[in-house]
Amino acid sequence: MTDEDQELVALIDNELDEERKTRLLARLAEDPALRARYEALRDAGAPIGAAFDTLLAQAPVTRLSAALPPETAVRPGPGRFTGTAFRQLAAAFVLGLLTAGVAGWLAFGRPGSDDDDWRAAVVDYMKLYTNDTFAFISPDRQAGAFELSAVAKKVGADLTPESVALPGLDFKVAFNLAYDDKPLGEIAYVDSTGAPVLFCVTANGEADEPLRSEKRDEFSLASWSRNGRSYLVIGRLPEERVAEFAQTLVTRF
C-alpha cells in the first residue's frame, strides 16, 4: 500500500486532521485518477469490513494460530490498532479464505442460485451485517457528502446528506456495488440500538412500481421503482417502521 493509499484509507476511516482532510478532498475533486483510486478503496473496504466479523467468528482461530510457523507469526507493535492496519489484516484474512475456496457465498448472486431478484441478493448480503459492522465508523458531513456524490454519479440519483437523511437513523457510509453488471449504491445507517438499516439504489431500468412492503427471513423490506431506478429500504426492524422510512424517501426519489 502506497503512502497515498494510506492517506486515502485514513480519509475513509475519518482519521485525518481537518487541514489534511480539506487538502485531500480538494485534490479528489480535481483529480479523476485519484478519485477513482479512492472509490476503489472505499468499495473494496466496505464488503471486507462487513464480512470480517462473520468470517472471523467461523474461523478455527486456535488451530490456525497453532499451525503458523514461529518465524511467520505477526508481532504487532505498540499503540492502538489503526484503521489502516485493521483493513490490511481483514483484506489478508478474507483473501486467504477466498484462495481456499470457502467464501464464494459472500458475493452477490451466489453461483447456482436461480433467484435473479436483486432484492434477494441484498437480503443475502445483509445477513453479514451485525450491530458491530458500522459501530466504529464516525463520518463527518464533508466526507459523507463526497461518498454520496460518488454513488450518485453511478446510479444517477440526487443523493445528498439532506436527501438521504432519515429521522431516528444515523448515516454511516455510502459506497458503490454492482448487481448483474448494473450499478448498485448502498447507503448504510444505524438506529439508536446500533441495528443496521440500508437504503439501496440500482440503475436497472425497471418500469415504475409503487411502494410495496414485505418480509424476507428476519428482514423487513420496502421497495419501489421510478425513472429507471429501483430503491430498497431493508432492516431487522418491524415492517411498519421500514415502510415509514421508505415512504419518506419516496417523496424525494
Q: What is the pLDDT of residues 174-222, one digit of tens each?
A: 999 999 999 999 999 999 999 999 999 999 999 999 999 999 999 999 9
Show the beta-strand stretches assigned E in the chain.
170-179, 182-190, 196-202, 209-216, 219-226, 229-235
> In the chain, what is the greatest distance between 2 CA atoms, to the nearest angstrom?
61
Split into its structural domains, the chain has a count of: 2
Are 41 and 161 contained in the same domain? no
Q: Work out the mean pLDDT of the chain and round it to a whole number.
A: 78
Are 166 and 199 contained in the same domain? yes
Classify residue 93: in a domain, yes or no.
yes
The pTM score is 0.62
Classify residue 75: in a domain, yes or no.
no
What is the residue range of 85's domain? 1-68+81-106
Instruction: Please check the confidence at residue 143 and state whether its pLDDT lies above 50.
Output: yes
Are 86 and 147 contained in the same domain? no
How far is residue 12's CA from residue 14's CA, in Å, rounded to a whole number?
5
For residue 44, give the C-alpha cell: 473494496
Contact partners, residue 236, CB within 8 Å, separation at least 6? 195, 196, 218, 219, 220
Are 39 and 139 contained in the same domain? no
How far is residue 51's CA from residue 98's CA, in Å, rounded to a whole number?
12
Classify residue 112: in a domain, yes or no.
no
Are 250 and 214 contained in the same domain? yes
Residue range 220-247, pLDDT digits in tens: 999 999 999 999 999 999 999 999 999 9
Classify residue 210: in a domain, yes or no.
yes
How far is residue 246's CA from residue 252's CA, in Å, rounded to a whole number?
10
Classify residue 74: in a domain, yes or no.
no
Phi-psi region at 230: left, alpha or beta (left = phi > 0; alpha = psi -120 to 50):
beta
